[in-house]
Structure formats: structure tokens, C-alpha cells
Structure 1
């Protein structure tokens, strides 16, 4: 079994708000949600992603614990760690998307909550598990932000308005669901399982790495092929090249020139 991992911060000198664990039993990719407002938390998004990630890995490592239960318990434990110092009811309290894939002999289980993508290739067939509910919120504010080039005052103001609209839709019916302080959000995660074969390929990507597809640079089948042939580092390098060629986001509309990017690729399964 082969497990390949790469993670790269979006900006030099800034913390990587992604977090990753990957081995032959469990993959966990967390994508901390960018904070553009006050959060009510003294720790921040990077701390939250790291604490939630390490806690859910500890809990999910046992096959006897269902992945939704592991994530719900991890959310509760991390909330307990900072409820005495931070306002967990603050609308901007730190949050993170998460993708989990757990491998057992002959099969795998998965969970996706928030904007992390999990792709399972079975021969010529692909199962793409992507939670796009956040990208469907704040449509008017998102369109306004896309009108402005990165670095302009208009972009900054529009992104703040978009963030407020997104936070109003976070973890409420009709909005989107993401890990923060309430374990009940796990009820809205995308979950499933499947058998694996020697042909099975699995990738888990934060949205910064998934730009290889969402910017139109590659199709999902081609992205899996690149991951198999050259690995996650080269996939992220392709994204970075495109971002560098369009620093103001006038060709490929996006909120940040470069985003934190994490990709995990797994193959070589024994049925």
C-alpha cells in the first residue's frame, strides 16, 4: 500500500490552516476556515484545526468507533478544551472542513464535512464526494467579490460582506455544515463505504489542492493520474503555477491568490 502526502501553506510566513494525517489505516485532511472577522477565540483557526485533527485521529483509529461518532466526540472534546477561555457561541468561532478515509482489509469508510474533496477511483469509475454546500451560500455576495481583483479595496470589502453572509448560513438548515463547537453537525456529514481492489485509488484534498480541478486545470480522472504518476507535490505545484500567472484573480475568480493546499493519495490496496 502506497500513501503519498503533501501540504503547502498558501502564503510564505503565514500558518498553514490545513492539517493532515495519513498512514495505511487512516487519512484525515482538515481545512481550517479563513477568519475574516472576530472569532471570540484566543487560539485561532490553526490551533483549532490541529487540535480537532489530532483528536479525531486518536478516536477514529479504532475500527470499532464509527467515523461520525469519532468526529462528534472530537468536536466535543476540543470545545471542552477552550470553553473556559473562549466564546464558543460567537458567530465566528473557529471551524474546519474535514475529510476522513479509514482503510480496513478489503474496504474503506469515509466521511466528508465541509469543503474537502474525497475521490475514489475504481478502475474506470470515479466516486467524487464533495460537499459544495458552502459554495452555494451567499451567492450575491460571492458574485460581488468575484467582480474585484485581489488587492483592491473593493475586494476586501466584498470578502468581508461575503464572510458575514456565510457565517449567517453556517450550521443552520438550508445553509452549510462544518465542524466547530456543536457535535450535532456530524448528522449532516457525507458518509459511505465501499470495497477496494488492486485498481482502487483514493485521494483526499483540501479545497486549495482541489483547485487543480475547480480552476479547470485538470479533470478529476487526470488529477488522479497525476497523483499516481508524480504525487501530491506535483499536483500542488501545478496549482501554484496557475495562481502565480493570475495574481489578481482576473482569469480564475477566487478569494485568495493562493490558498493552503493539502493532498493525500493512496493506492496499492490488497483486496
Structure 2
């Protein structure tokens, strides 16, 4: 298994990545806009470590995630509803199969040997279409920028999201309730049919369209070119869309993490296209 990774931590610094001999774990901790809520830095540190310790075990990915969430919650003494949260994306190579798990909006994209792709997404939170989310995006698109009203809307949005967190008619995310793992999106595919897999936090994934990149192009990048891509993402946000008008988003810069996995070792190729 060949793995290429790159990460650009912005001010929140709440992305985490861990690589073992059998797989990759990526977490994207939720930024706490509400000052009454704890930040997710310590949570993702512990959860990532717990997942790394378990990833080479014979247990299924949902069982691994459930156990890791329970151990993390116990260590931090946190309770559902008042705890930090994080997306979870896992890819594991086991017994000639590629296993994937997804909880939250950090997509996993599988490139098949026949040239086709499958994009695994978890859009349960977005599907709630909460009014605060619609309003802050509409305001940004209209040119309001990241003003005080924007911050107040994000605080209100997080409060409303907690009301829907980890319930059947809402959405599921890693937090303090280990049963969330039962609702993760999982699949298992023959490794022989997989050419590559790309994992990304939303801060990186959402930048492909503005920079004119496809998932296949991203999958070809070597470490140096992948770091260049993340730098280009930051530059586009800073200089082409600093107020989130072209691409409405909760904050100007989000953390960005990408992992490219190839079941069989292969030499990465640098794509010459660069953002200008």
C-alpha cells in the first residue's frame, strides 16, 4: 500500500491524520463557534490515537470506531450533547479488500481500474437544510463578508445542530455516543478492482471546483505537488474570495487534509497544472 499525504492547518488546527501499516484515518474536528462549547483539539487528538491503536485489529471498522469513541469519551469525561465532535474517514486494506468508513462530510473517492469513480459522501447534516445555514450562505453570496452577524449565525447554527446530532431523524457524527458508529457509511471492495483512493477533509475537497481540479488529477499528485495544491487553495481563498462570496463557507480558511492511497505501490506523477 502506497500512501501520499499533505496537510495545511489553518487557525483552528483541528484536522488529524494517522497512517498505519494497514490503513489511514482522517478526522476533521468541528470548530466551536459558541464560546460555551469546548474546542475539539484534545478530542481529535485522543480519538485519532484510539483509532490508530485499533486499526490493525481483526475487528470491523464500525466496532473499532465505537470502541474508540467510548474510550475517548471516558478519558475526557464528556457526555453526549455537550461534547466536541468530529468527522471520521477510514480506509483500510485487509485480506485483499479495501474497507472504507465514513461519518460526516469528509469524502472518500474510489478510482476503479476501469477508469470510473465512486464518491462516498455523508450529506445527512446538509440535508437538514437548517435556516441558519441558508441565511449565512445567502448573506455571504450577497457580499456581507465575515461580520458580526455572520458569527452570531454560526453560533445559533451550532446550537440548532446539537438538537439534531446523533438521532434517527437528524445526523450522525463522532462525539461521546459510541452508537453513532453503527450509523457510519461502510463498504468493502476487492483491492484488485481499485486503482486509487482519495480521502479529504471538506476544507480541501470543496476547493477542487474553484481550482479546476478533478479527483483523478488529485490522485496523480506526489507529495510536493499535493502540498502545492493545498497552498493554492489557501491563496485562492485569501486573494480571490476573501469574503466567501464566490464560495460561501463558514470561515475564510478551513483546515485542509488529503491522503492518496494506492493498494499496489505506484510512482506518483506530478500534474503540471497550477493555480495562478
TM class, shorter-chain normalised?
Answer: 0.7 to 0.9
TM-score by length of 1: 0.87
Q: Does the aligned pair in 2 maintain the 1:76–1:182 contact within 8 Å?
A: yes
Q: Deviations over 1:152-189 (max 9, x none)?
A: 12211222222222221111122111001111111110
Residue 9 of structure 1: CA displacement? 1.2
User: C-alpha displacement at 1:230, in angstroms?
Assistant: 6.0
Q: Distance in 2 between matches of 1:210 and 1:137?
A: 21
Determine which of 100, 103, 122 is the counterpart of 1:110.
Answer: 100
2:56 equivalent in structure 1: 61
1:119 aligns with 2:114: no
Conserved? CA contact 2:4–2:223, under 8 Å: no
**Secondary structure in 2 aligned to 1:127?**
strand
Q: 1:215 to 1:154 in 2, by over 3 A?
A: farther
Contact 1:60 1:66 (C-alpha < 8 Å) held by counterparts = no
Q: Is the 8 A contact 1:39 1:94 kept in 2?
A: no
Alignment CA distance shift 1:69-1:268 (3 Å): closer
| Equivalent residues of 1:150, 1:256 under 8 A apart | no
Match for residue 97 of structure 1 among 71, 80, 87: 87
What is the match of residue 182 of structure 1?
177
Quote the residue 1:82 is aligned against.
Answer: 76
| Greater displacement, 66-75 / 126-135 | 126-135
Per-residue CA distance 1:21-59 (angstroms, 9 max, x = gap): 124411000000111225565xx3011001001101111
Q: Counterpart of 2:45 in 1: which secondary structure?
A: helix
Give the SS at the match of 2:156: helix
1:48 is the counterpart of 2:52: no
More moved, 121-130 vs 100-109: 100-109
Contact 2:4 2:222 in 1 (8 A): no
Residue aligned with 2:251, SS: coil
Map of 1:240 onto structure 2: 234
Over 3 Å counting, the alpha-carbon distance change for 1:150 and 1:54 in structure 2 is farther
Q: Is the aligned partner of 1:258 residue 2:249?
A: no
Alignment counterpart, residue 151 of structure 2, candidates 152, 156, 162: 156
TM-score in terms of structure 2 length: 0.86
**C-alpha spacing 1:199/1:99, structure 2 compared with 1 (3 Å):** closer
Give me the CA root mean square deviation. 2.2
Tell me the distance in 1 between the aligned counterparts of 2:196 and 2:36: 38
Counterpart among 23, 26, 31 of residue 23 in structure 2: 26
In 1, Cα distance between the equivalents of 2:133 and 2:7? 27
- Residues 1:230 and 1:267: Cα distance change in structure 2 (over 3 Å): farther
Q: Which residue in the other structure is 2:208 paired with?
A: 213
Q: Check 1:129–1:39 CA distance in 2 against 1; reply closer, same or farther (3 A cut).
A: farther
| Structure 1 alignment gaps of length 5 or more | none
